[in-house]
Structure 1
Amino acid sequence: MTSLPTTFNAPGTVLVLGGRGRFGLAAVQAFSRNGWRVLAQIRPGAKAPEVKGVQWLAHAVDSVAGKKALIAAAQGVTVVVHALNPTQYTRQAWARENGPLLEAGMSVAQALHATLMLPGNVYNFGESMPPVLMEGAPYRPSMAMGRIRTRMEEQLEAATQRGDLRAVILRAGNFYGQGQGTWLDLAMLKGIRGGKLVFPGPLDVATPWAYLPDLAQTFVELARMRLTMAPFESLHFAGHTLAGNDWVQDLQRVARQQGWLGEAQDLQLSGLPWPLLRLLGPLVPSWAALASLRYLWMRPHRLDNRRLLSFIGQEPHTPWPLALGRTLQHLALLPAAPAPVHAMATQA
C-alpha cells in the first residue's frame, strides 16, 4: 500500500449545497459525525432534516440575491460539497439545469476561497468503456447525459487551471443505502415482499455500487487531505462491485427470513422492458433517460481506486451484507432494530 502523506488537516467548516438530497444528506451526516462545523444549503421553504449540530441555510443558489446571502452566511467555510441536482432525471432537465448549478457552486466556492468537491459518475466513459475504469482514463461519452457530465468536469478543471479555485471529483457507481428515488426502490425492490425481484441486466454482469455512507465518509477523508493534492483531482470510489447474482442470493435469504418466501421458494426474477422504455421515450422523457443507460447493465465494469488510496490509505467500506441490511432498514423493508443486520452479517 502506498504510504500516506504526512500533512493532515484538522476538521474545519464545510458547506453542503443541496443538503436534503440523497448524497447531500449523507455528506451532512458524515461531516457532522467527524467533528466538522456543518452548514447545509436548502431551498427557501424546504423543511430541514433533523441532524444534530447542523446549521441549515435556506437560500436559493440560482438567484443572485440568494447566492450573495449564502456567501455572507458561510464565511469561514473551507470546503464546499456540491450535491445539487436537476429537478428531474431527464436529458432536458440535465441540459437546462446542470450547467447553471455547477456555475453557482463554483462561484460560491471561489468567493469563499474553498475547495469544491463534486460526486461524479461513470457516464463519461460511454459504451466503449473498458472493464476496469482507471483514474485518468479518457472520456468517450456515448449519450447526452454523459456528454453533459463531461463538459461539466472539463469546465471545472479549466477553472482550477486558471487558479480560480481548487476542486476534487470523486466518481462512483450506482448510489444505494440512503434516500429514495434510486434503482432499488423505483424498480428492483418494489415487489420484494411478494417474492419478486426486478434486475435490469444479466445476472452475471458485475457493476460498481456506491453505499452512500461509505461514499460520504470518503469525502470527509479527502477533505482532510485536500491541501496535499493538486488543484484538480479526479478520483475513483470502488465501492461494492456486484453482479445480479449477488443481489439475488442475499435478497433471497432475507426474503425467506422475513417470511416473504417459503423455505423452498426462490425469488421470481424479471428484467426491465428496455424496448418499451426506448419506444415510449419520446413521450416520457424520464424513460428515455433510463433507456440510454441500458449499456451500463450489459457491460461488466469496475472502478479502480488506486490513486484515491494514495491519499487516504484505505477506502471506507461497509461489508456488503451489512450495507444491504441497513439499506433495507432505511427503506422500511426490515425492522429498524440492529439485530437482523448483525444476523445477516454473521452469515456472510
Structure 2
Amino acid sequence: MHIPNTANTVLVLGARGRFGLAVARAFAQAGWRVLGQTRPGAVLPTEPSSIEWLAIDPYDSHALAQAAQGASVVVHALNPAYTNKAWQTQVLPMIDAAITITRALGATLMVPGNVYNFGASMPAVLRENTPQSAGTVKGQIRIAMEQRLQHSGVPSIVIRAGDFFGSGSGTWFDTVLVKNIRKGLFTYPGAPEVSRAWAYLPDLARAFVAVAQRRAALPAFEVLHFAGHRITGQRWSDVLAPIAQAQAWGKPGAALKMAQLPWPVIRIGALLVASWAALLEMRYLWFTPHALANDKLTALIGPEPHTPLAQATQAALVDLGLIPGPPVGAVRPAAQPTAQPKPIH
C-alpha cells in the first residue's frame, strides 16, 4: 500500500550530520514535514528552510518524543567517532535511544546499514540472507545492533549500502581518494582492480523516502540492500581524470597519477592513534570484491534511484568546493531509472 507523503512527518535523529542532512533534504523535497534532531548549541544549516529543528539531546527520549509528536517515521542518523572504543560505548546506547523514541511515537524506525556484518570471508554478491560472520569489532557491533532492532518489537527497516560519497565531507572519497586531486594525485587504499560497493548519498536518501512511503507493505523487521555503484579503483581514476584535466590540476599536460595509500605507515601509526587502528582493522574491505544485490528493494519501490557515476562524481566535487557548481543541497535533476546498473543475479 502506498502511503501519501503529504500526511507524513519524519523525525531525523542526527539531522545535522552528513547522512542525516542528506535524508532530511530528500524527505523535504518529497513533501514531508521534517523534524531534525540536533544537539543543543549546534550550528544549524540554513537550508532547506523547511526543516523544523529540535535542539534536544538524543538520550532525552521523553522530551524528544514529546516534541516530535505526529512523526510516523524516525530515521536513525546518529553516528559516533570511528574508533572502536567509541563504537563499543556509543552505538548500542544510540540505537536503544532511537528504539525508545520510535516506540513512544508509534512510528517506524529506519536505519542505514553497511557491509561490516559479513566479515572478510564475504562472497562477491551480498544478499539480505547472506550469512554474517564478522570478525571485527565494528562488524560484531553492527550485527548486535540489527539483532536488537529485530527483537525490539518496533517496526524497523535497515537499508544496507556501501561506502558513501557526495553531500559533503567525512568519508573515504574526500579524506583519501580526492584529498590531493588538485595536485594531480588520486590516492586509492586498495587493489585497483577490485570492485566495491559505493552509495551516492543523495540517491540513498531518495531510496529511504521511497521505502518510507511503502513501509506498510513490509513486515515488522526488514533488511533491504541498496546496490548503488560497483566501482574499482581504476574506474574511479578513469572518471576523475577528465575532470582533473578540465580543471588543469597537477602539472600541465600530465595525466592524473594514482598513488596507493601507505598501509605500512598506518600499521605503525595504529599503535598510537586509535582511529588508524580502526581503519587498519577494516582494511580487508579494499581487497575483497563485494556488491549488494537489490532485488528486494526494487521489488518494493521500482527502479533504485541512481545517478550516473560521472554526474555523481561531479556533484560530489562541487559539494566539496573543489569545482564550481550549484551549492550544497541544491535540487539537481532527478536520477534516471534507465541509468541503473545491470541487476546482480
TM-score over 0.5 for the pair = yes
Q: What is the CA distance between 1:187 and its match in structure 2?
A: 1.3
What residue number does 2:52 align with? 55
Q: Does 2:39 align with 1:46?
A: no
Residue number among 186, 200, 222 corresponding to 1:197 in the alignment: 186
What residue number does 1:144 align with? 137
What residue number does 1:256 align with? 245
Structure 1 residues 280 and 261 mapped into 2: Cα distance closer, same or farther (>3 Å)? Answer: closer
**Alpha-carbon separation, structure 1, partners of 2:266 and 2:249:** 29
What residue number does 1:114 align with? 107
Q: Does 2:83 align with 1:83?
A: no
Residue number among 12, 18, 24 corresponding to 1:22 in the alignment: 18
**Alpha-carbon separation, structure 1, partners of 2:2 and 2:173:** 37
Question: 3-state DSSP class of the match of 2:145?
Answer: helix
Aligned residue type for 1:60 = D
Q: Does 2:21 align with 1:32?
A: no
What residue number does 2:301 align with? 312
- Asked whether the equivalents of residues 236 and 305 of structure 1 are also in contact (C-alpha less than 8 Å), the reply is yes
Which stretch of the first structure deviates more once superposed, 204-213 or 329-338? 329-338
**Alpha-carbon separation, structure 2, partners of 1:233 and 1:59:** 29
Uncovered stretches (5+) of structure 1, i.e. residues with no partner: 1-6, 343-347
Residue number among 55, 59, 72 corresponding to 2:66 in the alignment: 72
Aligned residue type for 2:71 = V
- Asked whether the equivalents of residues 90 and 285 of structure 1 are also in contact (C-alpha less than 8 Å), the reply is yes
Question: 3-state DSSP class of the match of 1:70?
Answer: helix
Deviation by residue 1:125-174 (Cα, 9 ceiling, x = unmatched)? 00000000012211110211100111000111111xxxx31000000000
Q: Indicate the RMSD between aligned Cα atoms, in angstroms.
A: 1.7
Normalization by structure 1: what TM-score? 0.91
Q: What is the CA distance between 1:61 and its match in structure 2?
A: 1.4
What residue number does 2:343 align with? none
Aligned residue type for 1:240 = H
Question: 3-state DSSP class of the match of 1:300?
Answer: coil
**Alpha-carbon separation, structure 1, partners of 2:197 and 2:242:** 22
Question: 3-state DSSP class of the match of 1:277?
Answer: helix
Normalization by structure 2: what TM-score? 0.92
Q: What is the CA distance between 1:179 and its match in structure 2?
A: 1.9
What residue number does 1:4 align with? none
Aligned residue type for 1:168 = I
Aligned residue type for 2:175 = L
Question: 3-state DSSP class of the match of 1:309?
Answer: helix
Deviation by residue 1:72-124 (Cα, 9 ceiling, x = unmatched)? 111111000000011x2100000000010000000000000000000000000
Q: Does 2:3 align with 1:9?
A: yes
Uncovered stretches (5+) of structure 2, i.e. residues with no partner: 334-338, 340-345
What residue number does 1:213 align with? 202
Aligned residue type for 1:26 = A
Q: What is the CA distance between 1:268 and its match in structure 2?
A: 2.0
**Alpha-carbon separation, structure 2, partners of 1:84 and 1:14:** 15
**Alpha-carbon separation, structure 1, partners of 2:63 and 2:19:** 24
Aligned residue type for 2:40 = P
**Alpha-carbon separation, structure 2, partners of 1:111 and 1:278:** 45
Question: 3-state DSSP class of the match of 2:242?
Answer: helix
Structure 1 residues 278 and 305 mapped into 2: Cα distance closer, same or farther (>3 Å)? Answer: same
Deviation by residue 1:271-293 (Cα, 9 ceiling, x = unmatched)? 11212222321310000111111
Alignment: residue pair count:
328
What residue number does 1:130 align with? 123
- Asked whether the equivalents of residues 256 and 262 of structure 1 are also in contact (C-alpha less than 8 Å), the reply is no
Residue number among 279, 282, 285 corresponding to 1:290 in the alignment: 279
Q: % of aligned pairs identical?
A: 47
Q: Which runs of 4+ in 1 moved over 2 A?
A: 261-264
Question: 3-state DSSP class of the match of 1:8?
Answer: coil
**Alpha-carbon separation, structure 1, partners of 2:126 and 2:281:** 20
